[in-house]
Amino acid sequence: MPAGKFTQLSDEFRNQKIFSLVLKYSFPAMVGTFMFTVYNVVDRIFISRVLGNEAIAGVGITFQIFMLFIAVGVMFGIGGATLASLQMGRRNFRSAERILGTMFWIFIYGGVLTCVLGLIFLEPIIRLFGGTELTLPYAKQYFGILLFFMPFDFMAMGTNNIIRSEGNPRFSMWNIAAGCISNIILDYIFILVLGLGVGGAAWATGISKLLSSVLVIWHFTLSHRRTLTLRWKNIRFNKLIFVRMCEIGLSPFLMQGIFALVAIVLNNSLLRYGGDTAITVMTINSTIFMLMAIPNQGIVMGYQPIAGYNYGARLFARTAECLKTAAFFGVVITVLLLGIVQLAAPWAFGALCNYDAELTNSWAYSLRILILGIPFWSFFSITSTFFQATGRPKMTIFLNIFRQVLCVPGLLLLLPLFWGINGIWMALPLADLIAASVTFFLIMPEMRRLQS
């Protein structure tokens, strides 16, 4: 690694204004998150318009399954990036490069293992997540193809955090953009021109992930902008690094992984109270929620390397200021988005499905209820990941278990008993309100400690 590049990163994280740093690192992360979301959304748009609502429900089930696999990539991606940030804050870049090599080893071999297990248990997994005779054929076709691209998926997705941590947020953004644009082009060719249907959408997404992973390898080996270098000797299993990655990355793994398990409860409740139509509605609503969550996700990813570096450098006042700035941005932006989508709910819902106007208007109310809690979710996600970013994951794990294991499933089972399917829409925002309240009382003592 060029010494000048490391010195530049060190001076930036230590001396530049926190407000400017959070903006600098969050905006590319927002754009990158937007592109990553488009990876998932663009398939749904093409499929819903060309193949109908049963196909979009099948793909929606598949996406929830992939949340479980993505959780693995997130665990080692965020865990590795946090470790690397802490090591760079201590000016130990050789250790950071060993962490990078271990990450690549995990992504390659973990991706192959995920592919094999997924293919063996393909149909049982889909049925567990709510697949029915109507949606099963679409889900099997889409899921089965994408499994072959899991090593590239892990690599493309899991390295974005460490790329930002080494001071290259723009490359992370452009890498995701390249995959997104190629996905849109290939979706058009495979679905509309060649008529390959759901399988074409899966091939388009998989090839796009392959392209992104090639660009990642190029960056860490040949790019003159890299801070860390991927060296062949470092691509090996390191037990100590692996354990530390798991400790730090366990919280985001639980957040993503438990989300997939909650999806089992959610989908079966939807089938009970609303049938396949309700699953289609939730797929559309969750797509809109994902789009609304983009700025917040960008802030979460953008502020973590800054907080981690300053905490590792024992600049605690700057660490606290970083959290306050990120939380302020996240809540303000999500409140503004909430107001916009509340006004435009019928249009937003109708843009993603083939229902007629009357049916669209009758289901748009579900979107209005579902998104009420997004400002609370924003505060929760930013403040809960602060402990993880500063190398203390146990509190983050506790908070995510509290929300994902206790609040969400409990409310999903309880509220529909009184309000039917409306109780399902109410469960998620209420869970976010409760989780944000608990997080507020836990983060305040930490802020006082850092500022003193």
- As given in the structure block, the two tokens for residue 225 are 């902008």
Residue 133 lies in a domain: yes
User: d(Cα 17, Cα 318) in Å, to the nearest integer?
Assistant: 9
Say what the pTM is.
Answer: 0.70
Residue 181 lies in a domain: yes
- As given in the structure block, the two tokens for residue 53 are 């609502």
- Does 6 score more than 70 pLDDT? no
- Mean of the per-residue pLDDT values for the chain? 84
Residue 5 lies in a domain: no
- The least confident of 12-16, 26-30, 138-142, 431-435 is 12-16
Instruction: Report residue 166: phi and psi, to 5°.
Output: -85, 10
Total domains present in the chain:
1
For the segment 193-214, what is each residue's pLDDT rounded down to a tens digit?
Answer: 898 888 998 999 899 999 999 9
- Does 4 score more than 60 pLDDT? no
* pLDDT reported for residue 112: 94
Q: What is the mean pLDDT of residues 33-45?
A: 72
Residue 392 lies in a domain: yes
* pLDDT reported for residue 425: 92
Burial of 310 (0-12, 13-18, 19+ CB in 10 A): buried
The residue segments making up the domain with residue 61 are 16-451
Where residue 227 falls among pLDDT bands split at 50, 70, 90?
A: confident
Residue 11 lies in a domain: no
- Does 247 score more than 90 pLDDT? no
Where residue 273 falls among pLDDT bands split at 50, 70, 90?
A: confident
Q: What is the mean pLDDT of residues 8-35?
A: 77
Q: What is the mean pLDDT of residues 25-42?
A: 75
Where residue 423 falls among pLDDT bands split at 50, 70, 90?
A: very high
Residue 7 lies in a domain: no
User: d(Cα 251, Cα 387) in Å, to the nearest integer?
Assistant: 10
Residue 326 lies in a domain: yes
Residue 3 lies in a domain: no
